[in-house]
């Protein structure tokens, strides 16, 4: 915790983020190869028609990116990670909006195009949402 920071609520969580996953190529066509009556270096020349490489298939997927304790303090929302996981800190001034769901909390941060999704149990998500709402109100954001 930072100097002057007080923790108001703490609960175990898993952080999930939407990530774009490449699935490979789709729609490739091999076309037709036509032999020409020309030889270069003793090898016949062929003309290929209709070949296309296809396009990359992408898919958005919710992936677990970290886990640990989610802490609502008087200054920020902080993920204190378990060993080997990444930390996350979102100051209240940067929270654009948040939504409480039955099984988690969705937080939108200014400057990010995708939300953070914290997976929580029903009781923890409701308490965390209430605490975050009161802290944002007190911070004037």
What are the tens digits of pLDDT across the range 96-135?
999 999 999 999 999 999 999 999 998 999 999 999 999 9
Each residue of 61-106: pLDDT tens digit? 999 999 999 999 999 999 999 999 999 999 999 999 999 999 999 9
**The listed CATH number (2.30.29.30, 1.10.10.10, 3.40.50.300, 3.90.1310.10) that belongs to domain 7-19+62-139:** 2.30.29.30
Q: How many CB atoms lie within 10 A of CB 118?
A: 26
- DSSP 8-state secondary structure symbol assigned to residue 92: G
Q: Give the H/E segment covering residue 122.
A: helix 122-139
Q: What is the pLDDT of residue 50?
A: 72
List the domain boundaries for the chain: 7-19+62-139, 23-58
- Burial-class residue 87 by CB neighbours within 10 Å (0-12, 13-18, 19+): exposed
| Predicted TM-score (pTM) of this structure | 0.73
pLDDT band at 28 (very low <50, low <70, confident <90, very high): low
Residue 57: is its pLDDT beyond 90? no
């Amino acid at each position: 915790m930072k100097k002057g920071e007080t923790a108001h609520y703490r609960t175990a969580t898993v952080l999930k983020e939407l990530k774009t996953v490449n699935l490979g190529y789709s729609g490739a066509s091999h076309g037709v190869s036509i032999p020409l009556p020309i030889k270069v270096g003793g090898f016949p020349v062929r003309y290929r028609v209709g070949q296309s490489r296809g396009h990359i298939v992408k898919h958005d997927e919710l992936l677990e990116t970290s886990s640990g304790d989610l802490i609502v303090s008087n200054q920020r929302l902080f993920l204190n990670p378990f060993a080997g996981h990444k930390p996350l800190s979102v100051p209240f001034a940067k929270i654009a909006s948040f939504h409480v769901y039955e099984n988690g909390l969705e937080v939108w941060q200014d400057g990010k195009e995708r939300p953070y999704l914290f997976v929580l149990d029903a009781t923890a998500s409701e308490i965390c949402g209430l605490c975050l709402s009161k802290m944002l109100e007190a911070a004037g954001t």
